[in-house]
Amino acid sequence: MQLSVRELAKRYKTGDGVSGINIDIEKGELVTLLGPSGCGKTTVLRSIGGFLEPDSGDILIEGKSVIQLPPEKRPTSMVFQSYNLWSHMSVYDNLAFGLKIRKMPKAEIRTAVEDALKLVRLSGFGKKYPAELSGGQQQRVALARSLLLNPAVLLLDEPFSALDAKLRHEMREELREIQMKTGLTMVFVTHDQEEALSLSDRIIVMNHGHIEQIAQPQKIYDEPASLYVAGFIGKMNFLKGVAEGESIRIGNLSLPNEKGLSGQVTAAVRPEDVQVSVTTMGEGILAGKVKQVMILGHYAEVTVELLEFGIIRAFLNKEFVEQLQVGKEVGISISKMTGFPVAESN
């Protein structure tokens, strides 16, 4: 294990904070802490970096406890939301600063800085000043500076949140590429689920100071461990159902009761697992009316008002949607869902 967090707890006077945090991250993994504002993800990250002192627990990097060490003595480096570049220094001097403090020979510093600029696709930018760079370029310089310190664990605190959507997408791809090239262990904090799903080897979903689920992105998407995770990751429909024996019934629909639930359940259904047909009657079909059709590029999101179960949304191909208009009666069927006990949703 490259990084282990053991029973970490940190509470603020407001009552917010984290407790019972246990995380193991292997060498070369990119793991994302994901959750809404105030869920505790930045508290965990800053505790790992030494910028916060936990109330209890331990943090081990490469098997050694770092809990007593200040940030500068820890084998970590942090990329912040704000770029924190020195405006009076050139890009080269910004990058070389940390290496000079470490008493590295000048020739080695030059080679290391040039290699780092190449890695973040900024070769030839050494003489420029931060004010002459775009936001994306400044963030690349901040990333290069952290990479130069050769940390055992690189910590990233919402580093792309100040960038526009297109640039954010490009930076994600570049970060993943850099991570693959360097084999660095990275802990990435974000509230953006798309960012987490596209970047991570594993995702840690946090809620109100505790961990809800730790798993690979696809598993978190396909098999959410709780109703909270189901609602937080991706778009989701929630329908009321009843579990009896091996089935969960939602009106005319009968779906497998894989968790062996009983009584009232909440069925979580992804929009891509909802089928819409012009047949409105029969077993396995819920009747409804088209309420809205939104074309979203190569697919469409269709909102249907069910007669008994409220609103349900489906992702459908554009060609099929051409025959649907608002008010049209349709039938809904569901290919897959995840059931949760109703008590969990209270």
Q: How far is CA 306 from the centre of its chain?
A: 32
Q: Does the pLDDT of residue 344 top 90, yes or no?
A: no
Confidence of residue 237 (pLDDT cuts 50, 70, 90): very high
**Mean pLDDT, to the nearest integer, of 120-149?**
88
Confidence of residue 330 (pLDDT cuts 50, 70, 90): very high
CATH code, residues 235-345: 2.40.50.140
* Partners of residue 253 on adjacent β-strands: 250
**Mean pLDDT, to the nearest integer, of 73-89?**
86
Over pLDDT 90: what percentage of the chain? 58
Q: Does the pLDDT of residue 346 top 60, yes or no?
A: no
pLDDT of residue 140: 87
The Cα 260–Cα 234 span in angstroms is 25
Phi-psi region of 155 (alpha: psi -120 to 50; beta: other; left: phi over 0): beta
Sequence spans of domains, the chain: 3-228, 235-345
How, if at all, do strands 202-207 and 210-215 pair?
Answer: antiparallel
Q: Does the pLDDT of residue 76 top 90, yes or no?
A: yes
pTM to 2 decimals?
A: 0.88
How, if at all, do strands 76-79 and 153-157 pair?
Answer: parallel
pLDDT digits (tens, 9 = 90+) for 128-140: 999 998 888 888 8
pLDDT digits (tens, 9 = 90+) for 240-252: 999 988 999 998 8
Q: Give me the amino acid identity at 50.
A: G
Q: Does the pLDDT of residue 112 top 80, yes or no?
A: yes
- In this structure, whether the domain defined by 3-228 belongs to CATH 3.40.50.300 is answered with yes
Q: How far is CA 264 from the centre of its chain?
A: 31
Q: Does the pLDDT of residue 280 top 80, yes or no?
A: no
pLDDT of residue 174: 85
pLDDT digits (tens, 9 = 90+) for 156-171: 998 888 778 888 888 8
